[in-house]
Amino acid sequence: MAFSGVSVHFANNSAGIRSSFRLLCCATLALLLACASLAAHSRTVLEFDIDKQPVALADWGDYWVDQQVKLDAAQVANQGGLAWQATPMRGIYPVLPGQALWIRFTVPPAPDSERWLMEIPYPALDRASLYSLDIAGQWIEQRSGDLTPVNQWPTPHRHPLLVVNYNAEHPTHYLLRIENAQGFSAPIRFVSSGYVLRNEQQVSLFLGVYFGLALLGCAIGLVGGFWLRDRAYFYYAACSVLIGLTQAAITGVGGLHLWPNSPDWTDRSLTVLGTWMLAALLLLNATMVSLVQRSRVLNTLVWATVLAGVALSVALGVTDSAIRIPLVVPYLILAPLLMLLVNLWAWRRGDRFGGWLLLSAAPFALSLALAIARYLQWLPLSFVTEQVALASMALQMPTMLVVLVLRSQHRRENRRRIRGLDRVDPSTGLINEQVFAERMTRMIARSGRLKHQGAVLMIDLVNTEQIQRDFGRRAAAELPLRVAERLLSTAREIDSAARLSEQRFGMLVEGPFSAEEAATLGPRIVARCLMPYKGLPEDCVAQVRVAYALVPRQGPTAEIVMERLERRLTGIPPESKRAVYMLPDYK
């Protein structure tokens, strides 16, 4: 009996335990469902905070892709069974050309103390339409994008800005329709009008500086082209203008200020201007490294690429948006690679500016790779992918201008050297016989006018054949250059040294001189030439003979002095050990 009572009591308790367990499970399930419902509810409702801007849509909305592009806002809102999904955090949507992206979100009730806007920071977007329900139950559309003139946008701006209205008592439901021929991968965020104003002031300052530099580069290029008659400056001016216009198209400044009533050109301007810009940059780089004189094959390839870019720009201007990116992407890859190849080729072949051009073009090529990845939707739209091209251009163009100025300076110096070849010996840098005679004439006239004497020296190198037999042809060919160095080290700034022939040199030493002082000039030159030369054997020294004259006492004209000095050196016996000879007075 006791056992049966215990069994009955245990049975009754077991039933109670099972009932309690069922209640606990039901409560847990209800709690999980409530949490899930609460989580879903919090995901689909936006919360605007004035202190945390911009407010990203993130995964608070739902999106659906209309592959047929047949439904309007009312049909999308009322039709059930659509495969809505949470909006992705990174902002990359699986939208293909010819499809429409629909996004729905809800704005909770709030006091109308601040004007809020939905911002899509994508200036190249074809169409963005924001739908909201009015009191009569009709969907009201706000439209923006490249296919709509900017002057007809609800809020004209560099990129789409659509007004988000509040209701103080009820939530407001919105539908956003996006169409873009290149897909869509941009963040959707909400900002207040005050935030937009502050942000645009900062962006306008940055863009103003950049466009000012572009205009300055254009002006410098035009002035340099006309002043220096260098076509590279004209190419630089064209590049500055095209880069500025391309950046205006990228940032939306062009559609807002330059062509606000031309939606067709707004839609095509980025690809067309970008193609022209790349062609101009390629041509500028090839000109700066003088490719036409150095490699006919590479120059032909550059011009073929430039002409292909011109033809491509015409095709981009008449084709639909859906096929522009497949057309332009190969050129966006080919032109920068060819530019890098040209700069690398010039640098490897000793061009003094090829390395700097290669270094300045590398960031631009990298930024272009990021832009291509962005348009192919491999990367989402962000500050880096949007502004990296602008930053790379801001680095490349000043660098190219500096290189262009240095190049012009070197070209002018080369022209001066070429024009001076008829007055200078190219191997030693000394003046030649013609200039030597002109300066001697002026020195004789000056000495006669000032009543003092100057010295004229003629120096012959006499052991070249012996040096060639003992030390080789290379040492014999180098010996006159070493003699020229010693003469220059002996001469003062007011004196002149000249090379009169292969083995003969001359010097003009400004007076006043006495006969005793002039007698020390020849031995000093002989001693300097007999000193060992760096890089040559110690016995490989120059033996010279010096004949000198005091003018105008020993020659009234340059012709007479030259003739007397030459006759004196020619008449010296080969076996003579004497090295210095003075002319007698002229009678």
Closest Cα to residue 130, out of 115, 119, 114?
A: 119
Using pLDDT thresholds of 50, 70 and 90, give the confidence band for residue 45: low
State yes or no: pLDDT of 220 exceeds 80: yes
Q: Which two tokens stand for residue 170?
A: 């009820």
Q: What is the pLDDT averaged over residues 347-365? A: 85
Mean pLDDT lowest among 100-114, 296-310, 345-359: 100-114
Q: How many CA atoms lie within 13 A of 459 on its CB side?
A: 28
Measured CA to CA, the distance from residue 61 to residue 77 in angstroms comes to: 14
d(CA 446, CA 572): 31
Sheet holding 55-56, edge to edge: 55-56, 189-192, 116-119, 161-164
Give the tokens for residue 352. Answer: 């003094």
Of residues 412 and 520, which shows the higher confidence score?
520
Residue 218 scores a pLDDT above 80 = yes
State the pLDDT at residue 366. Answer: 78
Q: Is the pLDDT higher at 296 or at 49?
A: 296
Question: What pLDDT was estimated at residue 538?
Answer: 86
- Kindly state the average pLDDT of the residues 444-460: 91
| Top-ranked range on mean pLDDT: pick from 2-11, 282-291, 354-363 | 282-291
- What pLDDT, on the 0 to 100 scale, is given for residue 41? 37
How far is the C-alpha of 440 from the C-alpha of 434, rounded, in Å? 10
Give the lowest-confidence range in 194-203, 353-362, 389-398, 537-546. Answer: 389-398
Q: How sure is the predictor about 315, in pLDDT bands with cuts at 50, 70 and 90?
A: very high
Read off the pLDDT band of 9 (50, 70, 90). very low
pLDDT of residue 109: 79
Give me the pLDDT at residue 37, please: 35
Q: What pLDDT is stored for residue 113 in this prediction?
A: 67
Residue 33 has pLDDT above 60, yes or no: no
- How much is the pLDDT for 373? 72
139-144 sheet: strands from edge to edge: 85-86, 62-66, 100-107, 172-179, 127-133, 139-144
Q: What confidence score (pLDDT) does residue 386 get?
A: 63
Report the pLDDT averaged over residues 540-545.
92
Length of the chain equals 587
Highest mean pLDDT among 47-61, 188-202, 375-389 belongs to 188-202
**pLDDT for residue 40 is more than 50:** no
Task: Provide the mean pLDDT of the chain.
Answer: 83
pLDDT-wise least confident of 86-90, 110-114, 193-197: 110-114
SS3 59: coil
For residue 170, name the pLDDT band (cuts at 50, 70, 90): confident
pLDDT at 381: 61
In this structure, are residues 120 and 160 in contact, taking their beta carbons and an 8 Å threshold? yes
- pLDDT for position 13: 38
The pLDDT value recorded for residue 114 is 74
Supply the pLDDT for residue 60: 86
Confidence tier at 319 by pLDDT (50, 70, 90): confident
- End-to-end CA distance of the chain, in Å? 170
Catalogue the long-range contacts made by 251-259 (C-beta closer than 8 Å, 24 or more residues apart). 251/123, 251/158, 251/203, 251/207, 251/386, 251/390, 252/123, 252/157, 252/158, 252/159, 253/158, 253/207, 253/211, 255/123, 255/146, 255/150, 255/158, 256/150, 256/156, 256/157, 256/158
Question: Quick one: pLDDT band at residue 29, thresholds 50, 70, 90?
Answer: very low
HEC readout, 382-410: CHHHHHHHHHHHHHHHHHHHHHHHHHHHH
